[in-house]
Amino acid sequence: MQNARYVRLYTDRHGETHFEDIEVTLSPQDFTDEAVPFEMARFLPVKSTFWLSGPGDWSGDVPRPSSRRLILCTLQGEYQITVSDGEVRCFPAGSVLFVDDTLGQGHLTSINNKRGVLVFAMSVDENEEKSLF
């Protein structure tokens, strides 16, 4: 069995932001009648999807919380996030980040490469949420 991994960016009860590494166990499930089962797991329902792109020298000016809960899948380039507890992480192509800090001190984002970044983003559907944690 394979596991899926992602990072959750969240706000604690004191308003400080942190990273949390999440690992989800996938289990065999029928995906189509004509094939061997795929390994799958439920994630978060989404309301909308959109593309995000930014230049390589982009940087947020002040830390702030997210305007909405998002799932970010980096496709090209890399960006960096600093949370209020001081931890800094980079999110290169292939990474998945669940941005779950809509309150509190927020985070600071910057793009740190010449090519910029391309991200596939999904807005979490608050009305149908069923999470794995």
CATH number of the domain enclosing 73: 2.60.120.10
* Domain-located, residue 112: yes
* Domain-located, residue 28: no
The structural domain count of the chain equals: 1
Once rounded to an integer, what is the mean pLDDT over residues 21-40?
89
Domain range holding 101?
Answer: 46-126
Q: What does DSSP assign to residue 95?
A: -
Predicted pLDDT at 130 = 53
115 Cβ contact list (under 8 Å, min separation 6): 56, 76, 77
Query: Tokens 């930014």 label which residue?
Result: 54
Predicted pLDDT at 54 = 94
Angstrom distance (rounded) from CA 120 to CA 69? 14
Angstrom distance (rounded) from CA 73 to CA 15? 25
* Domain-located, residue 91: yes
**Residue 128 confidence class, pLDDT cut points 50, 70, 90:** low
CA 40, 8, 92, 69 torsion-angle sign: positive
* Domain-located, residue 89: yes
Tokens of 33: 């009648």
Predicted pLDDT at 21 = 98
Tokens of 2: 């394979």
* Domain-located, residue 38: no
* Domain-located, residue 64: yes
* Domain-located, residue 5: no
**Residue 132 confidence class, pLDDT cut points 50, 70, 90:** very low
- Decide which of 85 and 32 is more confident: 85
* Domain-located, residue 73: yes
pTM attached to this predicted model: 0.89
Average pLDDT score, the chain? 92
pLDDT tens for 67-123 read 999 999 999 999 999 999 999 999 999 999 999 999 999 999 999 888 899 999 999
